Chain A
Amino acid sequence: MSIRNFLKNNYVFAYVLAFAFLLVSMLTGISVGSVSVPVSDIVKIIGAHVFRLPIADQVDSTNMNIVSQIRLPRVLLAGLVGASLAIAGAAFQGLLRNPLADPYILGVSSGASVGAVATLFFNISIPFLGLYTLPALSIAAALITILLVLFFARRVDRTMRVETIILTGIVFSSFLGAFISLIIALTGDQLQQIMGWLLGSVSMRGWSHIGIIVPFFILGALLLLVNTSELNAMSFGEERAQYLGVDVEKRKLVILVAGSILTGAAVAVSGAIGFVGLVIPHLTRRLWGPDHVHLLPLSILTGAGFLMLTDLISRTIISPRILPIGVITALIGAPIFAIILMKQRKST
């Protein structure tokens, strides 16, 4: 039995490894920066926050502020965004039977961006939603975009080939991108705000943004985690899934809505970060197999750790300047996209 077979049949090992990766990424993310914080201090500070333990005197108050006010929320936000994008990507890929389907490539991220930018530009604030207006409109825009993309792709080609979906996604991304440019051109006062948001970043967002994304993350992830068997069935084709007893229309809608919630919320708090939803599920599938029962949770853990590390790189590589996080993910993701595409063409 090959090593890959061994890995695929040892999900306990997979989870241990993914958790370890997440933990290491998180601690590194918090520890490394302009001021270096020892890991022991981090553990103590987090322990104090979570378990209400008394903080030992040795911990420097500057370190404490850096960790609890800057680094910890930043790393957690990166983790939540990474987890959301990764599980959304994994679900889209299974649903569309297409390893290249990613919220960014499908145009869903662009849709969510339009929703977010429009909210900022028009200064929209829906009563009762308050702080949640931005994510709510991002999610709505994301959902409308994915439905339109799929509708058009089906009109072009009933069998919805990989290439058709990608091309349709590109068309929508360009179109929506033009909208964003238009809004920027018209922007006066809010330019700073919109540009800062657009570049895609998890810096200086603080605890409030975590509060925004967490409920949506929990909702979206739960909706997907109860549909793992259905995703398995549907990755063999909708027709076959229906023969196996899956209520395809209903489940498909639930999965698309859940994917949009996750993407929309992630975009709302951090801007459009590409390729995470592509790279992480692909890597996870390569390592542990395509079974969605494990693919989704493992993608959450790996995606979270991955974006924490990416964020670390983005703020340290040309320090003191900060590189937008989307630049790093694109640098890693685009070549992987190309490789998967080439492999696909070869096998068909």
Chain B
Amino acid sequence: MLNLEHVSGGYDGESVIQDISFSVSQGEFFGILGPNGSGKTTLLKMISGLISCTSGSVQVDNRSIDHFSRKALAKKMAVLPQLTAHAFSYTVRETVALGRYAHHQGLFQRWTPEDERVLYTVMEQTNITVFQHQAVQELSGGEQQRVFLAQALAQQPGLLLLDEPTNHLDLAYQKDLLDLLKKGAEQEGLTVVSIFHDLNLASLYCDRLLLLDKGRERAIHTPDGVLSERLIKEVYKTNVTKYPHPTVAKPQMHLLPDKAECSAEAVMIGPSMLTIKQEHITLTSPIPLRTLSSGVCGAGIGWNSAFVNRHVPKNYDCSDPEGEMHDYLEKNGFNMGMTVGMMTAVQLSDAAYSLWEREHVSLFTVVTAGVGNATDGTQSVGASYPLTQGTINIWLFVNGHLTEEAFIQAVMTATEAKAQALRELDIRDKRTNTIATGTSTDSILVAATQQGETLSYAGTATVLGQLIGESVYTETKKAIERSQAG
């Protein structure tokens, strides 16, 4: 569809763009990225024929754009520039109808039924038919951008070029516009080439990306290939962290503010922050902790500063435990966005906890345990959802900086230690009479201050792993013995 061969050029003989080559096939959504002044807009203007190349060539459908008349080119490609102010108040309909200009011939152009049909189709597609008789200026930025998109689509182009189409648009409008373009690319084979300012939007919508740096190609690849921390850092001169999108298999880049680390005071999580009441055990941290957990509320990976282990009666039965827990926590003044909540039926006064320290590694472990519902995890088919007294909730607070691997290994190490404690105490699964590996509803929380020393791993070969193993084993045993004694 679009083919660039060693294209160089710019304004007034200055070579802003140097030796760019790439091809875009029909139906592809192609993104152009680069910092300010990297030549994105210049490149787009060269593709659209507004600026001519000093060397190399731009081809559309295997024909150099220099060989097209302006009208013929307008039927091949349309451009959606950034939104600008307009002097006169044309109606939406008049504005979109201008997109048919290239399809008209002769001195006095006549409006045909075909024009009317296209006009109607594109207004429907962009959802602007309702305000076709309103003045464009009366519309919001997002609606205006949709009007000009309709105008571009009315040209019936095979190729659509866009210059930061979502600039100045509200969040929802950004998504709507890009969804619309994506749909056009996927369903109607429209080829889309767009400049993006926002790396994350580009990653979400584009099939491939071109990364420009000072007018030169730095990378052309899938979003995953282009959005690497190293490349982005080199080109944009800033630190970013790459992270997968939570629900879409595309990478996202996150900025790292410089000040965040130094402004936070050093925090040491320990017994002094723990409050044990009859109703709940709470640990409140002065700073948000990086958390991996399986609670009722605030589960998964996140940042949390309050941790609640709530006592519920043995016969607690609720069709919506999450909602009920949510209400409970809110009623007790916890900020739901920053709180991990768990439940247990054991007496909270039986909780076991200690601060474990060795060689600069410091770990605070809290365990509540009941084994009335002990289960052998290897033979658990038919194990009941609880409600006899029995859940083992393990909290691990690490005073250090954990990598993601360390979080996962911490969970493994803790689980192994828990199983060992149950074996030592000869806790058995009542159904199978084999040694239990846990209960059927255990929860775990690993939280780290993300300050100080970086702890890359938490397997048993490391000091942290050893501390986790020993502390979980010890505290779990203590907690089970207490609850059995009680």
B residues adjacent to A (C-beta < 8 A) = 48-50, 69-71, 73-75, 78-79, 81, 84-91, 94-95, 98-99, 101-102, 104, 107-109, 133, 151-152, 155
Give chain B residues whose Cβ lies under 8 Å from the Cβ of A239. Answer: 50, 81
CB pair A245 B155 closer than 8 Å: yes
How many Cβ-Cβ contacts under 8 Å join chain A to chain B?
Answer: 82
A244 adjacent to chain B (CB < 8 Å): yes
Q: How far is the CA of A98 from the CA of B151 in the complex (A)?
A: 22
A8 CB, min distance to chain B CBs, angstroms: 7
From the candidates A240, A243, A248, A290, name the one contacting B88 in the complex (CB within 8 A).
A290
20 interchain pairs, CB-CB under 8 A: A9-B133, A93-B87, A94-B88, A229-B104, A232-B98, A237-B81, A239-B81, A242-B49, A242-B50, A243-B48, A243-B74, A243-B81, A243-B152, A245-B70, A247-B71, A289-B91, A290-B89, A290-B90, A347-B85, A348-B85
Q: How far is the CA of A245 from the CA of B85 in the complex (A)?
A: 21
From the candidates B88, B101, B133, name the one contacting A245 in the complex (CB within 8 A).
B101
Q: How far is the CA of A233 from the CA of B50 in the complex (A)?
A: 16
Q: Which residue of B lies closest to A227 (CB)?
A: B107
B43 CB, min distance to chain A CBs, angstroms: 15
Give chain A residues whose Cβ lies under 8 Å from the Cβ of B69. Answer: 247
CB pair B94 A246 closer than 8 Å: no
B194 CB, min distance to chain A CBs, angstroms: 15
From the candidates B50, B87, B90, B108, name the one contacting A289 in the complex (CB within 8 A).
B90
Q: How far is the CA of A242 from the CA of B69 in the complex (A)?
A: 11
Give chain B residues whose Cβ lies under 8 Å from the Cβ of A232. Answer: 90, 94, 98
Instruction: Give me the 4 closest cross-chain CB pairs, A-B, nearest first.
Output: A245-B74, A245-B102, A290-B88, A243-B79
Contact bitstring A232-276, B, C-beta under 8 A = 1, else 0: 110111011011111110000000000000000000000000000
Give chain B residues whose Cβ lies under 8 Å from the Cβ of A98. Answer: 87
Q: How far is the CA of A236 from the CA of B101 in the complex (A)?
A: 13
Most buried by B among A8, A93, A290: A290
Indicate whether A244 sits within 8 Å of B99 (C-beta atoms), given known contacts A239-B81, A289-B94, A291-B94. yes
A residues adjacent to B (C-beta < 8 A) = 1, 5, 8-9, 93-94, 97-99, 226, 229, 232-233, 235-237, 239-240, 242-248, 285, 289-291, 347-348
CB pair B101 A233 closer than 8 Å: yes
CB pair A97 B109 closer than 8 Å: no
Give chain A residues whose Cβ lies under 8 Å from the Cβ of B78. Answer: 243
* Inter-chain pairs besides A229-B109, A242-B50, 9 sampled, C-beta below 8 Å: A226-B108, A235-B87, A236-B90, A239-B81, A242-B49, A244-B101, A244-B155, A245-B155, A290-B90
Q: How far is the CA of A19 from the CA of B193 in the complex (A)?
A: 50
Give chain B residues whose Cβ lies under 8 Å from the Cβ of A8. Answer: 91
Q: How far is the CA of A235 from the CA of B136 in the complex (A)?
A: 13
Give chain B residues whose Cβ lies under 8 Å from the Cβ of A246. Answer: 70, 101
Indicate whether A235 sits within 8 Å of B133 (C-beta atoms), given known contacts A244-B74, A244-B99, A246-B101. no
CB pair A97 B75 closer than 8 Å: no
From the candidates B48, B70, B87, B133, name the one contacting A5 in the complex (CB within 8 A).
B133
Give chain B residues whose Cβ lies under 8 Å from the Cβ of A245. Answer: 70-71, 73-75, 101-102, 155
CB pair B101 A97 closer than 8 Å: no
CB pair A244 B102 closer than 8 Å: yes
CB pair A99 B90 closer than 8 Å: no
Most buried by B among A99, A226, A240, A245: A245
Q: How far is the CA of A1 from the CA of B131 in the complex (A)?
A: 12
Q: How far is the CA of A247 from the CA of B69 in the complex (A)?
A: 8
Give chain B residues whose Cβ lies under 8 Å from the Cβ of A248. Answer: 70
Q: How far is the CA of A97 from the CA of B84 in the complex (A)?
A: 12
B71 CB, min distance to chain A CBs, angstroms: 4
Q: Which residue of A lies closest to B75 (CB)?
A: A245
CB pair A291 B90 closer than 8 Å: yes
Q: Which residue of B lies closest to A235 (CB)?
A: B88
From the candidates B70, B95, B101, name the one contacting A229 in the complex (CB within 8 A).
B101
A223 CB, min distance to chain B CBs, angstroms: 11
Q: How far is the CA of A245 from the CA of B103 in the complex (A)?
A: 9
Give chain A residues whose Cβ lies under 8 Å from the Cβ of B94. Answer: 232, 289-291
Q: How far is the CA of A245 from the CA of B73 in the complex (A)?
A: 7
CB pair A236 B50 closer than 8 Å: no
Give chain A residues whose Cβ lies under 8 Å from the Cβ of B49. Answer: 242
A187 CB, min distance to chain B CBs, angstroms: 41
Q: Which residue of A lies closest to B45 (CB)?
A: A239
B317 CB, min distance to chain A CBs, angstroms: 61
A240 CB, min distance to chain B CBs, angstroms: 6
CB pair A240 B81 closer than 8 Å: yes
Q: How far is the CA of A236 from the CA of B151 in the complex (A)?
A: 12
Q: How far is the CA of A238 from the CA of B30 in the complex (A)?
A: 26
Give chain B residues whose Cβ lies under 8 Å from the Cβ of A285. Answer: 88
Q: Which residue of A lies closest to B103 (CB)?
A: A245
Q: Which residue of B lies closest to A226 (CB)?
A: B107
A58 CB, min distance to chain B CBs, angstroms: 45
A285 CB, min distance to chain B CBs, angstroms: 7
Give chain A residues whose Cβ lies under 8 Å from the Cβ of B71. Answer: 245, 247
A59 CB, min distance to chain B CBs, angstroms: 42
CB pair B70 A99 closer than 8 Å: no
Q: How far is the CA of A270 from the CA of B98 in the complex (A)?
A: 38
Q: How far is the CA of A106 from the CA of B3 in the complex (A)?
A: 44
A250 CB, min distance to chain B CBs, angstroms: 9
Give chain A residues whose Cβ lies under 8 Å from the Cβ of B85. Answer: 347-348
Q: Which residue of B lies closest to A225 (CB)?
A: B108
Give chain B residues whose Cβ lies under 8 Å from the Cβ of A347. Answer: 85
CB pair A97 B98 closer than 8 Å: no
B67 CB, min distance to chain A CBs, angstroms: 15
Give chain A residues whose Cβ lies under 8 Å from the Cβ of B88. Answer: 94, 97, 99, 235, 285, 290
Q: How far is the CA of A240 from the CA of B82 in the complex (A)?
A: 10
Give chain B residues whose Cβ lies under 8 Å from the Cβ of A240. Answer: 79, 81
Q: Which residue of A lies closest to B87 (CB)?
A: A97
Indicate whether A244 sits within 8 Å of B98 (C-beta atoms), given known contacts A99-B88, A226-B107. yes
CB pair A242 B101 closer than 8 Å: no
Give chain B residues whose Cβ lies under 8 Å from the Cβ of A94. Answer: 88
A164 CB, min distance to chain B CBs, angstroms: 14
Q: How far is the CA of A85 from the CA of B50 in the complex (A)?
A: 33
Most buried by A among B79, B88, B94, B133: B88
A292 CB, min distance to chain B CBs, angstroms: 9
Q: How far is the CA of A36 from the CA of B109 in the complex (A)?
A: 46
CB pair A247 B87 closer than 8 Å: no
Give chain A residues whose Cβ lies under 8 Å from the Cβ of B75. Answer: 245
From the candidates A93, A233, A237, A291, name the one contacting B84 in the complex (CB within 8 A).
A237
